[in-house]
A and B are shown apart, each in its own frame.
Chain A
């Protein structure tokens, strides 16, 4: 028998490579690189979130206004009519002409990224375009980080959180068991977690039932509701401190064994808190989270050490999620759903079952058809096809690619198309045999002549696959990927591999048994 040629050796290597690297995926072993199942196959949550970045701009403006007030008060600059206009501009008026120079200098030093315009004693502050862009980008990247931290601390297996495009956030969470769990995760992500400690306006709270929002505003107050009861509170609008000074939040239990959240403030926060509680003994202070009052205890004495407790009839799971949200910090801007796809684990399992059935049936059909029609030549093509399947799995495993339902369809389709190359080749060989060429010559010429056709046909299909990959999203990318890999792998298995096998088998091929080898009856010479 002729020694092994380089084509067969290459094919055997490809086969070994394919089998070895697809084993981790096939056995789903712990070790080794393997294919990740897409969310449509294993179940999970896929979301594309948008972000209301205008809210981030607005709160930036708000904090700028607070800074203006703070420094003017501090430097005894007299001003009037400090206003925020449409959430994007601050206006104020100085009363003393002598203050103009000092005020301008101070504002330029303290506030970054603004344009200050002056008309007599009337001033307006606007954010520069670059500052707006920066604030928006900051809001996105902060949201990505925050959501990631929250999901990580929730203890979920491999969530994905990534910025997509300019202003979208992609969130993918595999392995969610029930709809209720999923909702809990969504609530965790959505939580603004904006914590504020606010003073109760004890002088006016008696009149709260008749007070309008606008009236409260005129006193510098806000009206907020209790989280559990319809009770309302009148609170000073500028908080004593907020969640940015928080260092840790943990779930604990109070003396009634009810879950509470204990949080710790940083040095500055602890000092402000201590000063405030010392100054306002006998008055109430409200713990406000996302604009709901959780509790408003009376201050009995100065509280040092910066330890604060939130109680609010929590369920344990609720307290747990809330602590995570507080630890990860507040979202600078709220997020909303642009696209959501969630698949339950049982549906994922059904999808796998159905597509596996289709894949195996299609595969068996093609394999039998090839043997029936081409005899041994069909078997050779089938061996190449098996090699092709393993190669697809191996390459996808090595890249840690994601297999989706359309991806499975792509593999099924590849099975149909990969044998195409062998059909073309076999037809050519048959033709040449009919013309009376010797077997060896027929095989060599057959491969040569079939090659351009196969190449051109595959390249054009590849063009469609690449475009689909570049333009597709999620599952569709998976389809394009498996089809692309399948086409490339088939060039190796179906052309090089089968050619090598023929060359290797050539001495054994009996020219009197062409029916067995190539499925044809040779006319003429009998």
Chain B
């Protein structure tokens, strides 16, 4: 089976302004959402207590609310269904420090009489740990971006590095925007998803850039936009196919992986789509914007090759005993 067969390169770069506009709009909306609505920090980063209760029958959510609101501390607690009707989650912003009797234990006692239930999960995160985790998370993001920047500069050229990092910032920002828009709780696993998007989006961009790098040397064409068009077209089928397979598995994770992993897989789903889009329509135009010059690159490459040749010649001469 073959879906992608192009006799002629697609005319993508000519359209780059249009894509730029789309991206810019999405970016502005995302940033706006992040700044106005803000992240819905979950337990991991905000601290608090989460108790998951499983009932043998449909969970009596109103009874639960009544039972726990008897204690003043839990007045602001939220009670919601989790995944199905038998499962509920009770959340509060408060956390307890005492080891021998914690909020989970006291909730268990309060819930007595609401039905046949089992407490299946109690998570307590102190405020201090929460802020520590947040700092670490931010640090991890910055460090990965830095590491990637260095690696791509080393393997390609600095403009490629900047373009790829800008593309991945684009992806992460839009994914964050989606997280805010849909009110997904931001926890450690959301952070893991964002870091995965970082790696994934870059993966896609690198494949395209690799082709462009190759194209610069093989395609007899001085115009970067033409080289990009041809390279992107050549990799289009790969980019789409891989995105599809990854999208499939993430989708199964989202649909069947259980409630607990929903935030993670949703973030990834957005990331896969945006990452694919950006590697085709965003990264390469940035490369052009940054003023990458094909002739300069070729000149440098030629010089480098020349130097190598000189060296080899010298070595050959040396070995032959002429020097």
| Minimum C-beta distance from A153 to chain B (A) | 18
Taken together as a complex, chains A and B put the C-alpha atoms of A47 and B238 apart, in Å, by 45
Q: Which residues of A contact B264 (CB under 8 A)?
A: 406, 409
Assess the A406–B120 pair: CB atoms within 8 A: no
- B80 close to A (CB within 8 Å): no
Nearest chain B CB to A172 CB, angstrom units:
14
A231 CA / B235 CA spacing, docked (Å) = 83
A-B contact pairs, 6 of them (CB 8 A): A50-B126, A187-B101, A336-B97, A336-B99, A337-B102, A472-B140
The answer to whether residues A467 and B207 also contact, given A342-B122, A346-B120, A358-B257 and a CB cut-off of 8 A, is no
Task: Give chain B residues whose Cβ lies under 8 Å from the Cβ of A372.
Answer: 1
- Add 18 more A-B contacts to A354-B258, A475-B188 (CB < 8 A): A186-B102, A187-B99, A187-B100, A189-B99, A336-B99, A338-B97, A338-B126, A340-B125, A341-B124, A342-B121, A362-B248, A362-B253, A406-B192, A412-B250, A416-B246, A456-B151, A463-B147, A463-B199
**Interface residues in A380-420 (C-beta closer than 8 Å to B):** 405-406, 409, 412-413, 415-417, 419-420
Beyond A405-B260, A409-B261, A476-B189, is A464–B238 a contact (Cβ under 8 Å)?
A: no
Determine whether A214 belongs to the interface, using a CB cutoff of 8 Å to chain B: no
Give the complex CA separation of A348 and B234 in angstroms. Answer: 46
**Contact A48-B129, Cβ < 8 Å, known A354-B258, A362-B248:** yes
B104 with A179: CB separation less than 8 A: yes
Instruction: Closest A residue to B142 by CB, please name it.
Output: A467
The residue in chain B whose Cβ has the minimal distance to the Cβ of A431 is: B234
B192 x A476 contact (CB < 8 A): yes
| A467 and B123 contacting across the interface, CB-CB below 8 Å | no
A467 to B196, CA, bound (A): 11
Q: Please, which residues of chain B bring their CB within 8 A of the CB of A423?
A: 238, 241-242, 245
Distance from A470 Cβ to chain B, minimum over Cβ atoms (Å)? 8
Which A residues are in CB contact (< 8 Å) with B234? Answer: 431
**A-contact 0/1 string along B275-304, CB 8 Å cutoff:** 000000000000000000000000000000
Per-position binary interface string of chain A over residues 333-366, scored 1 when its CB falls under 8 Å from any chain B CB and 0 otherwise: 0011111111110110011001101100111011
Q: Check if B126 sits within 8 Å of A467, measured CB to CB.
A: no
Say how far B64's CB is from chain A's closest CB, in angstroms.
16
Q: Does A452 contact B (CB under 8 A)?
A: yes
* Assembly CA distance A484 to B11 (angstroms): 37
A441 within 8 A of B: no
Task: Say whether B195 faces chain A, with CB atoms less than 8 Å apart.
Answer: yes
Q: A409-B261, A424-B238, A483-B196 are in contact. Are A457 and B250 (CB under 8 A)?
A: no
Max count, chain B CB within 10 A of own CB: residue among A339, A341, A460: A460
- Chain A min CB distance to B52 (Å): 7
Within 8 A of A (CB), among B184-240: 188-189, 191-192, 195-196, 198-200, 202-204, 206-207, 210-211, 214, 234-235, 237-238
Whether A452 contacts B210 in the complex (CB less than 8 A), given A179-B108, A347-B54, comes out as yes
The answer to whether B245 and A420 have CB atoms under 8 Å apart is yes
Shortest Cβ gap from A436 to chain B (Å): 15
B204 surroundings in chain A (CB, below 8 A): 457
Q: Which residues of A contact B100 (CB under 8 A)?
A: 183, 186-187, 190-191
* A contacts, CB < 8 Å to B: 47-50, 179, 183, 186-187, 189-191, 335-344, 346-347, 350-351, 354-355, 357-358, 361-363, 365-366, 369-370, 372-374, 405-406, 409, 412-413, 415-417, 419-420, 423-424, 427, 430-431, 449, 452-453, 456-468, 470-473, 475-476, 479-480, 483, 519-521
**Given A186-B100, A366-B249, CB of A464 within 8 Å of CB of B144:** yes
Ranked 5 nearest A-B pairs via Cβ = A354-B258, A362-B249, A464-B199, A190-B99, A416-B246
Confirm or deny: B2 has a beta carbon within 8 angstroms of a beta carbon on chain A. yes
| Min distance, Cβ A487 to any Cβ of chain B, angstroms | 9
Which chain B positions have C-beta within 8 A of A473? 133, 136, 188
Least Cβ distance of B140 to chain A in Å? 4
* 8 Å CB contact of B258 from A50, A355, A479: A355
Closest to B248 in A: A365
Q: Is the CB of A339 within 8 A of B256?
A: no
Cβ of B307 under 8 Å from chain A = no
Chain A CB within 10 Å, residue with most, of B97, B148, B237, B253: B253
B176 to A: closest C-beta gap in Å? 16
CA–CA, A521 to B2, complex, Å? 8
Q: How far is the CA of A186 from the CA of B122 in the complex (A)?
A: 13
How many A-B residue contacts, CB cutoff 8 Å?
246
Report the bound CA distance from A241 to B112 in whole Å: 44
Q: Assuming the A-B contacts A179-B105, A416-B246, A461-B203, are A337 and B148 also in contact, with contact meaning beta carbons closer than 8 angstroms in the complex?
A: no
Which chain B residues border A470 with CB–CB below 8 Å? 140
Q: Are B121 and A343 in contact (CB under 8 A)?
A: yes
| Bound complex: CA A50 to CA B99 (Å) | 10
List the A side residues contacting B129 at CB < 8 Å. Answer: 48, 338-339
Which of B143, B203, B238, B244 is most buried by chain A, counting CB atoms within 10 A of its CB? B203
Provide the residues of chain A in CB contact with B192, threshold 8 Å. Answer: 406, 468, 472, 476, 479-480
Q: Which residues of B contact A459 (CB under 8 A)?
A: 151
Residues in chain A near residue B206, CB distance under 8 A:
453, 456-457, 460
CA distance A245 to B80 in the complex (A): 53
Interface residues on B, range: 35 or more
A464 contacts B148, CB within 8 Å? Answer: yes
| A373, B1: Cβ atoms closer than 8 Å | yes
Q: Write the chain B residue with the least CB distance to A45.
A: B122
Report if B155 contacts A (CB, 8 A): yes
What CA separation (Å) do A336 and B102 show in the bound complex? 10
**Chain B residues in 8 Å Cβ range of A363:** 249
Residue contact A460 to B123, C-beta cutoff 8 Å: no
Given the complex of chains A and B, what is the CA–CA distance between A466 and B143 in angstroms? 10
The residues of B that contact A417 with a CB separation of less than 8 Å are: 200, 203, 242, 246
Contacts of A355 in B (CB 8 A): 257-258, 261
Task: Say whether B14 faces chain A, with CB atoms less than 8 Å apart.
Answer: no
A337 and B99 contact, CB distance less than 8 A: yes
CB of B79 within 8 A of chain A? no
The chain B residue sitting closest to A179, CB to CB, is: B119
Whether B245 pairs with A419 at a CB distance below 8 angstroms is yes
User: Which A residues are CB-close (under 8 A) to B241?
Assistant: 373, 423, 427
A183 to B137, CA, bound (A): 31
Q: Is B36 an interface residue (CB 8 A)?
A: no
CA distance A347 to B120 in the complex (A): 6
Knowing A179-B108, A416-B246 touch, does A409 contact B200 (C-beta < 8 A)? no
Query: Cα distance A186–B102 when bound, in Å?
Result: 9
- Does the CB pair B97–A406 fall under 8 Å? no
Contact of A463 among B108, B125, B126, B148 (CB under 8 A): B148
Q: Is A409's CB under 8 angstroms from B253's CB?
A: yes
B28 within 8 A of A: no
Please report the C-alpha to C-alpha distance between residue A405 and residue B264 in the assembled complex, in whole angstroms. Answer: 11
User: B98 contacts the other chain (Cβ, under 8 Å)?
Assistant: yes
Of all chain B residues, the one with the shortest Cβ separation from A420 is B242
Known A413-B250, A473-B188: A461·B104 in contact at CB below 8 Å: no
Query: Would B252 and A361 count as touching, CB distance under 8 A?
Result: yes
Contact B99 A365 (CB under 8 A): no
Chain B's nearest CB lies how many Å from the CB of A76? 47
Contacts of A521 in B (CB 8 A): 2
Contacts of B250 in A (CB 8 A): 412-413, 416
Provided the pairs A464-B196, A475-B188, A521-B2 are in contact, do residues A337 and B124 lie with their beta carbons within 8 angstroms?
yes
Which residue of A has the minimal Cβ distance to B95? Answer: A337
Is the C-beta of B76 less than 8 angstroms from some C-beta in chain A? no
B22 on interface, CB distance cutoff 8 Å? no
In the complex, what residues of B have CB within 8 A of residue A341's CB? 121-124
